[in-house]
């Protein structure tokens, strides 16, 4: 994680670039969370604000703040 910290094209640089922006997080279960990315760590643990939970493309629930454990994350997409 340390060698590419200054390079926005590497994973850690990309993460620091998208902090505070709207993101889409897809889990291995295909559930999708959309929200503002408040923080993320090296495990891809994610804290989201204004989170919306989509199951099969349909909005199921909304959360003010949400923590997603990193092992469930398939990808983080910048919106």
Partner 1 sequence: MASQLLPLELIDKCVGSRIWVVMKGDKEFAGTLLGFDDYVNMVLEDVTEFDYSGSNIKLSKILLNGNNVCMLIPGGEGPEAATS
- Given the rule CB under 8 A, which residues bind partner 1? 1, 4, 7, 9-15, 24, 28, 44, 70-71, 73-79
Q: Which of 4, 49, 3 is nearest to 23 (CA)?
A: 49
Query: Toward partner 1, which CB reaches closer, 66 or 76?
Result: 76
Evaluate the CA torsion angle 42, 52, 23, 48 in order and state its sign. negative
Query: Toward partner 1, which CB reaches closer, 62 or 77?
Result: 77
Nearest distance from C-beta of residue 47 to partner 1, angstroms: 15
| 3 state SS of 66 | strand
CA 6 remoteness from chain centre:
20
Nearest distance from C-beta of residue 14 to partner 1, angstroms: 5
């Amino acid at each position: 994680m340390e060698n590419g910290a200054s390079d926005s094209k590497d994973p850690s640089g990309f993460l620091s670039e998208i902090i505070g922006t709207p993101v889409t997080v897809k889990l291995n279960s295909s559930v999708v969370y959309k929200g503002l990315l408040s923080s993320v760590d090296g495990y891809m643990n994610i804290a989201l604000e204004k989170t919306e939970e989509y199951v099969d493309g349909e909005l199921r629930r909304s959360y003010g703040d949400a923590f997603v454990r990193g092992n469930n994350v398939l990808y983080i997409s910048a919106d």
